[in-house]
Amino acid sequence: MKFGTKAIHAGVEPDPTTGAIMTPIYQTSTYVQKSPGDHKGYEYSRTHNPTRTALQNSLAALENGKHGLCFASGMAAIDAIIKMLKPGDEVISTNDLYGGSYRIFTKIFQNYGIRFHFTNMADLSKVEALVNENTKMIWVETPTNPLLNIIDIKGCAAIAKKHNVLLVADNTFATPYLQTPLDLGADIVMHSLTKYMAGHSDVVMGAVIVNDDELHERLSFIQNACGGTPGPQDCFLVLRGIKTLHLRMERHCQNGRKVAEYLKNHPKVEKVFWPGFEDHNNHQVAKEQMRDFGGMISFVLKGDKIEDATAVLEKLHYFALAESLGGVESLCGHPATMTHASIPSAERLKAGLSDSLIRLSVGIEDVEDLIADLEQAIG
């Protein structure tokens, strides 16, 4: 199946009892057994739920993986992955990272003896230089949040295989429509399904996709034992969102390109971060590993003053000032005080994230209206 057909059909079947074309919401906590241990594959909904099973199968198909696992949030998915490690283990990650990921790494798991190294992963020599006998995982986020840095997944996979460590790829910004990290050598793909995958700003959920049976068994155990699972209503909403993922992503990319070009030519804009520009760091890698360049854009105004950025954010209308991204509606945000506030200012600045940076999640509205909104706000 090609991607659009997968998005609509993969992993889902008409309900066998009624023929309902949409996967039912199995709003149940438990399941009746014919005899002790004699059941139909479902015992308790923390462990398995038919609506969740359909979603997990759909996600695995979209990522060209074998197994999918869903969690109550993207952070719960990250939590489960890092719980496979033990005290003394080390993780290498990018220095331009979602603030929530940085927070759980440094404020939670570092307290349990797991060490994290943050570096500019656009330069693979810096990644390999950090590998030592305690390294057990390389954590890639590409494009990164919020500077849209591009990391070579295939190159990281070669380093991971050479040193026998796991490679995890956070594919939230790209989605499997734009790139499939498992095909590029990653061992684990994770998503905040809250964003583009669900796509309608009405659900919070995370996911993990793998090919390896042993990894799936370990993560399934953590999923069930720790209980960070989503409810069937949310799984239904993500299944519904996935059916239009390919159409939405096409429009996000089209609008993103036009907005990025508009901003780049604006006399009051100093710099625009968007992987589609030829002068963007690792643009060539993006061309090779991505189908298109997405609808996420960050930019800095000339003068780099936080009060100027705040004034723009307050004036925007169609770009709603809110946390999150990837919905059908356009959103704007101020990473330094919102999504990345948990990262110390010195660390943010060292990674290139200035206090006046504005991040846009370009929606699927008519792009002329979005550009007019930016024009009236920037002036």
Active site positions, annotated:
46, 98, 170, 195
SS (HEC) of the chain: CCHHHHHHHCCCCCCCCCCCCCCCCCCCCECCCCECCECCCCCECCCCCHHHHHHHHHHHHHCCCCEEEEECCHHHHHHHHHCCCCCCCEEEEECCCCHHHHHHHHHHHHHHCCEEEEECCCCHHHHHHHCCCCEEEEEEECCCCCCCCCCCHHHHHHHHHHCCCEEEEECCCCHHHHCCHHHHCCCEEEEECCCCCCCCCCCCCEEEEECCHHHHHHHHHHHHHHCCCCCHHHHHHHHHHHCCHHHHHHHHHHHHHHHHHHHHCCCCEEEEECCCCCCCCCHHHHHHHCCCCCCEEEEEECCCCHHHHHHHHHHCCCCEECCCCCCCCCEEECCCCCCCCCCCHHHHHHHCCCCCCEEEECCCCCHHHHHHHHHHHHC
CA 44, 45, 50, 55 torsion-angle sign: negative
Q: Are 371 and 360 in contact (CB under 8 A)?
A: no
- Tell me how far apart the alpha carbons of residues 337 and 99 are, in angstroms, rounded to a whole number: 10
Residue whose token pair is 């990674």: 351
Contacts of 120 (CB under 8 A, 6+ apart): 94, 95, 96, 126, 149, 351
SS (HEC) of 334-365: CCCCCCCCCCCHHHHHHHCCCCCCEEEECCCC
